[in-house]
Amino acid sequence: MEIITPILYDLFSVARDCAPVLAVILFFQFVVLKKALPNPHKMTIGLVAVMVGLYLFLLGLDMGIFPIGKSMATSLSAPDKYVWTMLFAFCIGYSTAMAEPALLAVAQKAEEISAGALPSFYLRNAVAIGVAVGLALGVHRIFAGGQLWVYILCGYVVTVALTFMAPKEIVPLAYDLGGVTTSTITVPLVAALGIGLASNIPGRDPLIDGFGLIAFAAGSPMISVLGYAVISKYIKEPKKGKEVIK
């Protein structure tokens, strides 16, 4: 009972959090559309699977991801490990971005819609490199100090400049990819790394500097994807400057 009780409580918490979403869906299905559920038994099983999956995911974060990130951040926060910490941030940023299910889904859909003009592999790599560079820069800021808003402002200035240079077909996708990359795999590790570093480096605020690292992971993919588009437009295909990237 000592083990079952907290599990049931956590499952109830997950179900409570999912309840508003389910209520909205059912309201529009029954009241607005006035239609019955197409396959209620299958949908019920799917809903239960979603709740159990969310519970297991949160349990995995608490038991695995957060402790690992905190432990590594504590070990890497020494000044003499500055280069290794930046290298770790770069590698973890690239690998987690490449593993993001949301990014994979968006990249595959973009390749499908563009009839292969936007290859999924190259798009994912452009995003992953952006996240990697952004996290490395964010770790440098935590070590060196400096105002977070200055870094963010400079990043958005570059983003706006590239927006006018890149093909218009890629701009909405590039802006969306910032949110896609800060998802289930990237955010837990990045948050654990940022909070761990900020907690162990004197003069840093875990709330500002720690969570501020996520801003670098969210903003940098826009720059890398737009930069990839500009390079493809003006260097690789100078004769097709106004066409979609190939």
The 10s digit of each residue's pLDDT in 196-211 is 888 888 888 888 888 8
Instruction: Say if 71 falls within a structural domain.
Output: no
Question: Which of these, 212, 201, 180, lies nearest to 75 by C-alpha position?
Answer: 201
Count of CB atoms within 10 A of residue 135's CB?
30
Mean pLDDT, residues 136-152 taken together: 89
Q: Is the pLDDT of residue 235 over 50?
A: yes
Instruction: Say if 81 falls within a structural domain.
Output: yes
**191 and 86 share one domain:** yes
Q: Is the pLDDT of residue 243 over 60?
A: no
**170 and 109 share one domain:** yes
Band of residue 137 on the pLDDT scale cut at 50, 70, 90:
very high
**142 and 174 share one domain:** yes
Instruction: Say if 68 falls within a structural domain.
Output: no
Full 3-state SS string of 145-210: CCCHHHHHHHHHHHHHHHHHHCCCCCHHHHHHHHHHHCCCCHHHHHHHHHHHHHHHCCCCCHHHHH
**57 and 91 share one domain:** no
Mean pLDDT, residues 219-224 taken together: 90
**133 and 209 share one domain:** yes
Q: Of residues 83 and 7, which shows the higher confidence score?
A: 83
User: Minimum mean pLDDT among 87-101, 127-141, 173-187, 192-206: which range?
Assistant: 173-187
Instruction: Say if 246 falls within a structural domain.
Output: no
pTM above 0.85, yes or no: no
Mean pLDDT, residues 170-199 taken together: 82
Instruction: Provide the domain count of the chain.
Output: 2
**1 and 89 share one domain:** no
Q: Is the pLDDT of residue 244 over 60?
A: no
**133 and 168 share one domain:** yes
Instruction: Say if 245 falls within a structural domain.
Output: no
**143 and 48 share one domain:** no
Domain boundary residue among 35, 63, 91? 63
Question: Which of these, 216, 227, 225, 219, lies nearest to 165 by C-alpha position?
Answer: 227
**10 and 119 share one domain:** no
Q: Of residues 49 and 117, which shows the higher confidence score?
A: 49
Instruction: Say if 72 falls within a structural domain.
Output: no
Segments forming the whole domain that contains residue 151: 77-240
Instruction: Say if 128 falls within a structural domain.
Output: yes
Amino acid identity for residue 164 in this structure = F
Which residues 6+ apart lie within 8 Å of 73 measured at CB?
Answer: 192, 193, 194, 195, 196, 197, 199, 200
User: Minimum mean pLDDT among 1-15, 47-61, 102-116, 132-146: which range?
Assistant: 1-15
**152 and 236 share one domain:** yes
What pLDDT, on a 0 to 100 scale, did the predictor assign at position 1? 52
Give the model confidence (pLDDT) of 35-86 as tens digits: 888 888 888 898 888 888 888 877 877 777 777 767 777 777 777 788 888 9
What pLDDT, on a 0 to 100 scale, did the predictor assign at position 158? 94
Asked if residues 224 and 129 have their Cβ atoms less than 8 Å apart, the reply is yes
**50 and 171 share one domain:** no
**160 and 88 share one domain:** yes
Instruction: Say if 183 falls within a structural domain.
Output: yes
What pLDDT, on a 0 to 100 scale, did the predictor assign at position 237? 58
Q: Is the pLDDT of residue 241 over 50?
A: no
Give the model confidence (pLDDT) of 89-108 as tens digits: 899 889 888 888 888 888 88
Mean pLDDT for the chain overall: 83
